[in-house]
Amino acid sequence: MTERHYHIRLARWPQDRPALHQVREKVFVQEQNVPVELEWDGLDDQCLHMLAEDGQGRAIGTGRLLPDGHIGRMAVLRQWRGRGVGSSLLRALMEEGQKRGFHELALAAQLQAIPFYEKEGFIAQGDVFDDAGIPHRKMVWRKT
């Protein structure tokens, strides 16, 4: 079995804010040109956050679960994409959602990410909509 060279942990807000901020800033603001004021929506202190770290403890990915069962702000640094980090983050968020009693989880997926979420059982619903200048679709997962 190959070693992953990363781990996923429950992050603590605000202690882990700098690490979470660094990943999201690089992925959303710098790479995807999301306006800073849209990225930092004031909801982070109400969310459960997951943090992916490399073997040296450096932040490489993140995602959050809002109190209403929405998963969001899934981001993995470019050099770590395609190595299972995003899937591990998503599964960890889904597990935490189920622990909190959610039988349904939702998210807004960028169009190119829909196949990624479909692999974990999410189903696209509704029309394409714009979020921060990027086309998205709502996706829902239901516990069977």
Q: Which two tokens stand for residue 93?
A: 């968020």
CA proximity to 61, closest of 84, 37, 30: 84
Mean pLDDT of 50-70: 97
Q: For the segment 11-48, what is each residue's pLDDT rounded down to a tens digit? A: 999 999 999 999 999 999 999 999 999 999 999 999 99
pLDDT at 94 over 90: yes
CATH number for 6-142 (one of 3.40.50.10260, 3.40.630.30, 3.40.50.300, 3.30.750.24): it is: 3.40.630.30
Domain boundaries, the chain: 6-142
Mean pLDDT of 60-68: 98
pLDDT of residue 144: 83
